[in-house]
């Protein structure tokens, strides 16, 4: 039984067709969010055993390189490293690779996993696995819309910190001019 999953995020996004060649602004963030929602819902209570790694060059600005999303561990590879480099380091550092599953169609990562006696799964193998996992009962299931979930104090603080400088942004000044409606 797998104990830990390491997922090549952009590889899986592309393999599942969650992204188009011509991206509109915000398209990459939306694709990442769809993937993370799919994984969080699929793994449910076991989400804390899953690490999803994305390349740093595609990371959203001013966002933590390591964070949590609905239980999942989300990592953006450090500057100067690719997601593949970072995943290989995670494979090498794993104390019990026999219980590790690496999800990627990238031959380099498949080889790295197999050298350490970890499992290497394709996107389809992961989807088949998620399909077989027991689903939480409807009454215990979290709301489908994550916006209705109450934020923890830590999450709230992170969001406040993330967006604290928006009021000073000249391109957004009109949105923070609370008196603009009084003049009309």
What are the tens digits of pLDDT across the range 158-177?
A: 766 666 665 666 655 554 55
117: left (phi over 0), alpha (psi -120 to 50) or beta: left
**Mean pLDDT over residues 57-68, rounded?**
75
Put the strands of the sheet holding 72-76 in their side by side order: 66-69, 72-76, 50-54, 4-8, 100-103, 119-121
What are the tens digits of pLDDT across the range 125-152?
A: 999 999 888 776 544 555 555 554 556 6
Start-to-end CA distance of the chain, whole Å, equals 65
Q: In whole angstroms, give the CA distance from residue 74 to residue 88.
A: 16
Residue 18's pLDDT band (cuts 50, 70, 90): confident
CATH topology of domain 4-144: Rossmann fold (3.40.50)
pTM of the predicted protein model:
0.70
pLDDT at 138: 45
Q: In whole angstroms, give the CA distance from residue 180 to residue 15.
A: 47
What are the tens digits of pLDDT across the range 86-127?
A: 999 999 999 999 999 999 999 999 999 999 999 999 999 999
CB 36 within 8 A of CB 74: yes
- Higher-pLDDT residue of 82 and 22 is 82
pLDDT at 168: 64
CB 52 within 8 A of CB 33: no
pLDDT at 142: 53
Residue 78's pLDDT band (cuts 50, 70, 90): confident
pLDDT at 59 over 70: no
Show me where the domains of the chain are located.
4-144
pLDDT at 17: 83
CB 136 within 8 A of CB 19: no
In this structure, of 12-21, 49-58, 78-87, 91-100, the range with the lowest mean pLDDT score is 12-21
Q: 37 vs 56, 146, 165, CA distance in Å?
A: 20, 9, 28
């Amino acid at each position: 039984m797998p104990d830990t999953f390491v997922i090549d995020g952009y590889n899986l996004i592309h393999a599942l067709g969650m992204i188009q060649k011509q991206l509109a602004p915000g398209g990459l963030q939306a694709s990442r969010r769809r993937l993370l929602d799919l994984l969080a819902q699929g793994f449910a209570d076991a989400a804390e055993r899953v690490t999803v790694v994305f390349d740093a060059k595609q990371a959203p600005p001013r966002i933590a390189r390591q964070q949590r999303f609905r239980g999942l561990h989300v990592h953006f590879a450090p500057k100067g490293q690719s997601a593949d480099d970072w995943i290989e380091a995670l494979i090498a550092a794993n104390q019990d690779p026999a219980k590790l599953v690496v999800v990627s169609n990238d031959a380099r990562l498949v080889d790295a996993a197999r050298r350490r006696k970890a499992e290497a799964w394709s996107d389809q193998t992961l989807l088949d696995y998620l399909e077989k996992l027991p689903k939480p009962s409807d009454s215990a299931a979290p709301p489908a819309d994550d916006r209705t979930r109450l934020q923890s104090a830590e999450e709230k603080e992170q969001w406040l910190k993330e967006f604290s400088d928006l009021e000073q942004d000249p391109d957004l000044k009109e949105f923070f001019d609370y008196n603009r409606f009084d003049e009309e």
